Structure formats: structure tokens, C-alpha cells
Structure 1
Amino acid sequence: MDSTYIGSFGRLKVYETEFFSRQQIDQMLSMSDPKDVSAFLYNGPYREDFDSLSAIFKDPELTEMAVNRHMVRNNRIALFSVPPLAKNAITAYLSKWDIENIKTVISAKFLGHGIRDAEPFLISFRDVPLGIMTGTLTNEDYRNMINLSNIEAILNYLARFGYGTYMMQFLEDYRKTGDISPMLYSLDRYYYMNLISSLKYYRGDEGPVLNYVRSEIDRQNIVTMLKGKVLKIPFERMTSGIMEGGNISTGKLREIYSSQDVISVVDSLKPYYDLEPQKKEYQESNDLYHFDIALRNIIAKRYMDTMSMLPLSLDSIFYFILKSEFERHNVRTIYLSKVNGMPREIAEKLLITEMV
């Protein structure tokens, strides 16, 4: 235990009481009208987030942005709770939202959309993306980028922050093929490379966080492989989307990918992640999301309990951040399921329930 975490642990424990319980998640699932879900959120801990955005946005964008803003408020609480020596690890993790925002901007530019179309998908706090708190991108940067003439100009703009320089290696391929996916995958590799290097052992008890991150790399690699198998893409063509640093080596992933089809790949993954229950769902629906959600739940179950039992450590702060992240995922999923008229039984299968 590290006494420098005492203050932050106490503050975060107070805010943890605001996370929704399983009973409250069930209440939202039972609602049929998305307005009822919005009202439930407004009458709970999300009131400030709705009030700050209601003069500018209307539903469904209002509720989506309020949910995003609430998560960023929690992240901000965590960021300003960390001891100085732990701040690099937290800021490295939270830069994932910079990555997501950059992907949104590049995708919007690729599709010919403007800032108004992209803005509801940016993760922001009081009109300021999370990056401003980690010393990187501001809201003005995102507006500047979306107003640039093309993707190459966006990469040049991002070069000053490091992201663009790393992505430039895929620019020639983009010019030849018009495919932006290798550039987007490169952002993930850049992110995880920096994150793992920042997770240096402070007191020797941050192992669960590092293991969680390595497992998240596995998840993304597995999902990429399953998509590739559906599309019958050779492994060599997917290497830009496969990341180093996970628990399963690239060589082993290549071996697993040589399996005949999606089900065979899933069978080969069983020593690492047991996805047996999801095979039947996939065979009935041909939807890969069953595997992705199952992986998220498996990883949460493996590491979150351990993080919660190490109170005076980096683990306790990551536990709070991840709880907030899972709540965002669940609330957005429930709300959008009501907007789109999705049956409850389907929406429920899309939730991360291991930590609720």
C-alpha cells in the first residue's frame, strides 16, 4: 500500500456511490420510451450534464453527449486525484479518448461530413475534449482539423502532437488504395505502445492494471482477426491491425488465424478466452459482437475485483475510471436501444454486466 493514495482513494469512494446498480440498469432496460431513460438519467447524477448542453442540443444527441460528458467528468475527478508519480500512467490511459476523437474526425472527413455531424461523437467536457486535461488536443484543434481540405492535411496538423508523425507511414498506402483503416489501426498501436511504457511499477502492485491492458490488446486483436476471417482476408494483409503487447503473441495469432473459419478460430482461443457460449449465438445471427462483448466481460471479471481489493494503489484509480467507462457503455447501449426500438433481450446481451 502507498500512503500517497489515501486522499484520492477517499474522494473516489465517495463518487463511486453514484454509479448505477444492477437494479437501476434493469429499471432502464424495462423502459420502452427513450424519453423515460433520459428523464431517469436527469433525475440522477447526470443532471448537470444535461443542463450544460440542453441550450445547444436536442435528443437523441443531447442524451448521448450528456452521457459522454458525465464520463469525462468522472475521468477528470480521477485525473486530479492521482499522486504526481502516478499521473503519467493515468494520462496515458485517458488519451484513448483523443484517439477516438481523432478517428471520428478522420472518418468524418473521409465521408465528407462537417464538424456539426461529427461533434455529437466527440468525447468532450464543457466543450473541451479530454485531451486538454492531458496536455494534447483542444476543441479548437478538432474544429481546425475538420475544416482542413483533406486527410493528408489533418495528418500534417497532428504531427505536432506525435499522432500524425506515426500515422504518416501509412499515407502512401492511403494515396494508392483510398483505404483509411491502416491509419486508424496505427493510432491504436501508438496508444498501446505509449500506455504500456508508462505503466511502470510504482510500488509493485500495479500488475492487475498492466494485465488488464494486455488483455484489452488481445480483445482488439481477436476482434480484428474474426472480422478478417469473415471477409476471407489473408493474415498478412491484416498486420497493420494486429498489435504487439498482448498476452497472445503475434506468431500465435497467426497460427490461430490459419484455422478454417470463425468457429475454428474461437475454438483455438479457448486456452486464453472461453467463448463457447457465444458460438451458438454467432451461428444463429452471424453477428460478431457477441464475441466482443463476451471478451469485455471476461476481462472485467478477471481483473476488476483484484483492482478493487488494492485500495491504496494505482489499481484503485483505474478501477474507478473503468467503472465509469463501463457505465457509459451500458447507458448509451440502453438509450440507443430504445431510440431504435431494439428488444430488451438483445440490448441486454450488449451490456458489460460483470461489474454492475
Structure 2
Amino acid sequence: MGVSSNVKYAYIVARVRAMKGKLIPREMYPKFLNMEIPEITRFIGESEYKKEVDELGKKYTGTDLIEHALNQNLALTYRKLIEVSQNEANFLITEYLRFWDIWNIKTILRGKFSGAGEEEILEDIVSGGQLRYRDLSEIVKIGTVEGVIAAFAKTPYYPALEGYKGDLAEIENALDKMYYSNIIKAADATGNKLFLKFLRTEIDLKNLKMLFRMKCAGMERDETIRVLIPGGMELKNSDLARLASLPLPEFVRALEEYSYWGAISDVIGELTSLINIETRLDKYGLVYASRISYYYPLSILPILDYISSKKIEVDNLRIIVRGKETVLPEEIIKAHLVM
């Protein structure tokens, strides 16, 4: 990367570094496991989430307050990244954060499909992409899946939605493929090879999770291939086709050929539950983002590293609070945490 590249990322990377310094230290998570929900609320109410806890405390209490405060803070944090970035960085961050538009569309559709209440759906909305919370909360009021899809007619996501014929999984898969296809085009357009490498690794990790799920569910090869996302780093289309066709024990053995094996090899015997494998793959993604951003300190990578780290922080807090609310054993909550 040349001097001009370094200069154009210097300001935003400095801002991101300051923001990353305010993330909750990893050693706090085991301490949260020993706290009650009011104590956790008090802790996050004295941290970076103070504004949201104070503001939303007038309307919500307990777990609901924490859920809404986490989501609102996450959305505002991501919007801030878009506001303080310029040119290429702004374009790539905006495109990457469209992930949250996809997340919100899926959340609303799933909610409508399962008959969830408006408040229940809104609890999982994170307006960190281009779709505003106000607009999304209006769409949540629509009664049917078909009505919701029609409400997205003027958005770039409609081509993936308009083919809905009652199969929600098909629509979700179309949205994922559309997102990654568009973002890879965006990365190609800027010629940003580091961003492309990060994306392709993310696709590999998503595909590995999906392969494990499909294998454990006993899905057929063709059905498995249909839900995998093309464009991965190590897992090319030919790799995916081969892995999809192997029986579970051979599939597991075949994974030894890939760099991701080291992250999961010691928990691979526990296939009764995929939690440990998925948590390890998430951890791999986090460590990978941190490592490569260290090697390229004035690039898009420290920003992507922060985006991932912030999401993991919110996910971890949510897992702890939900686990405590449902009185899950501590070791089960701990198994879900990415630390």
C-alpha cells in the first residue's frame, strides 16, 4: 500500500483505535457470569452504554433494557464510523455494514412468519446499515410476510425478496448471496485486496458453519450446495462441492487440509452440539481480523477488526444476560462466549 493509501486511512484509523480502547476488557466476561442482571445493568450503565441505558431506562427494565441499549449503541457506533470516514473508507464501511440491513430484513420476516409480536421483533433490530430504525419500526407494524416484502420494494434488496413463494430459508439464502456478491464487486471496484481477503475469509467461516449444520442435520449434497456462498478464500466452489458430498466422518477428515482445522481440531469430537465448533470459528475470525490489522495498521483492516470486536462484545453481553434470565448453567453460557 502506497503513501496515499496510508494517508487516507490515518484519520479514521486513529478514531477507531480510540474507540477500540473503550471496549470491555476480555477478563470482565467471567466476572459478569458471577453477577446478577441488575449488577450487569449497573456496570454497563457506567460504561460506553451509559447514554442508552439512561435514555431507555425510562421505557424498559431488566433484560429488555439491556437488549435495547446494546442494539442502539451498536447501531450508533456503526453510524459514527460512516460519519467520520471519507472516500474509499466510507464507501467500503457503508457496503460492509449493509450486513445489518440483511439482518433486519431477516429478523422482521422471521418474526412475521412465526407470529412474533411487534415489540419482540423490535428487540432484535439493529439499525447499523442503511435502513433507518424509524422506517424499520413502521415495517414491523405490517401484518403479513407478503406485505413486509412489498414494503422493501424500493430498496436494493428487493430482487432477492420478490421471488418469495412461502420458503423463508430460500429468501434468506438469496439475501446472503446478494450481500456477498455485491460487496465483493465493491471491493473489486476499489482494488482493495486486503478488504477482499478479509471478506473471502469471512465467507469461508460462514460456509464451514453451514456445512457442519447441514451434515449434522443429514441434508443431501444438492441441498447443501444450494445454501453455500460462493467466493471464499480457501474453500473454492470445487472444495465446497466435494465437502458437501462427503459423509460426516470423511468430511471432518477432509477439513485437515485447510488452515481452519487448527481452530476446531480439539473440539471436533463433540459433534452432538455445534456450539463449540461455531464459537471456535467466530474466535478464529476475530483473531484473524486482529492479526492482519496489526500487519497493515493504516488500512481498512483495523476498522473491520473494530467492527467485528464491537459486535462480539454486544453478542457476549447478550448471551450472558439471556443465559442468566433463563437460568442456564454457567458452563453452557461460557461455551457460547467468544473470548
Distance 1:201 1:312 in 2: 20
Q: Paired residue for 1:158?
A: 152
Do structure 1's residue 304 and structure 2's residue 290 form an aligned pair? yes
Q: Paired residue for 2:212?
A: 226
1:148 to 134, 142, 146: 142
- 1:123-202 matches, within 5 Å, as 123=126, 129-131=127-129, 134=130, 137-169=131-163, 171-172=164-165, 174=166, 179-200=167-188
Q: Paired residue for 2:87?
A: 84
> Equivalent residue of 1:44, what SS?
coil
1:211 to 191, 197, 209: 197
Aligned residues: 331
Runs of 4+ in 1 over 3 A off after TM superposition: 206-209
- Residue 199 of structure 1 deviates from its aligned partner by 1.7
Distance 2:28 2:143 in 1: 46
- CA 1:207–1:339: 2 relative to 1, 3 Å: farther
Do structure 1's residue 44 and structure 2's residue 31 form an aligned pair? no
Q: Paired residue for 2:37?
A: 34
Q: Paired residue for 1:328?
A: 314
Do structure 1's residue 253 and structure 2's residue 240 form an aligned pair? yes
Letter in 2 for 1:279: I
Cα pair 1:78 1:321 within 8 Å, conserved: no
Root mean square deviation, CA, Å: 2.1
* Greater Cα offset, 185-194 or 332-341: 332-341
Cα pair 2:57 2:65 within 8 Å, conserved: yes
Give me the TM-score of the superposition, normalised by structure 2. Answer: 0.90
Letter in 2 for 1:260: P
- CA 1:69–1:243: 2 relative to 1, 3 Å: same
Distance 2:284 2:331 in 1: 20
Do structure 1's residue 122 and structure 2's residue 125 form an aligned pair? yes
Cα pair 2:161 2:171 within 8 Å, conserved: yes
Cα pair 1:208 1:303 within 8 Å, conserved: no
Write the deviation string for residues 287-327 of structure 1: whole angstroms up to 9, x where unpaired: 11221111111222233222134232212222221221121
Write the deviation string for residues 106-142 of structure 1: whole angstroms up to 9, x where unpaired: 011111223222111111xxxxx233xx3xx223432
> Equivalent residue of 2:62, what SS?
coil
Write the deviation string for residues 164-222 of structure 1: whole angstroms up to 9, x where unpaired: 222223x24x2xxxx311111111111111111112475x7x54432222122122222
Distance 2:143 2:31 in 1: 46
Distance 2:51 2:318 in 1: 17
* Greater Cα offset, 210-219 or 57-66: 210-219
Letter in 1 for 2:32: M
Distance 2:213 2:303 in 1: 33
- Residue 347 of structure 1 deviates from its aligned partner by 2.2
Do structure 1's residue 72 and structure 2's residue 75 form an aligned pair? yes
Cα pair 1:114 1:147 within 8 Å, conserved: no
Letter in 2 for 1:257: A
Letter in 2 for 1:122: I
Q: Paired residue for 2:116?
A: 113
Cα pair 2:99 2:179 within 8 Å, conserved: yes
Letter in 2 for 1:298: Y
> Equivalent residue of 2:269, what SS?
helix
Cα pair 1:108 1:118 within 8 Å, conserved: yes
Write the deviation string for residues 202-258 of structure 1: whole angstroms up to 9, x where unpaired: 5x7x54432222122122222222222222221212344211111212332121122
Do structure 1's residue 25 and structure 2's residue 29 form an aligned pair? yes
- 1:281-296 matches, within 5 Å, as 281-282=270-271, 286-296=272-282
Distance 2:93 2:267 in 1: 33
Cα pair 1:267 1:276 within 8 Å, conserved: no
Q: Paired residue for 1:126?
A: none
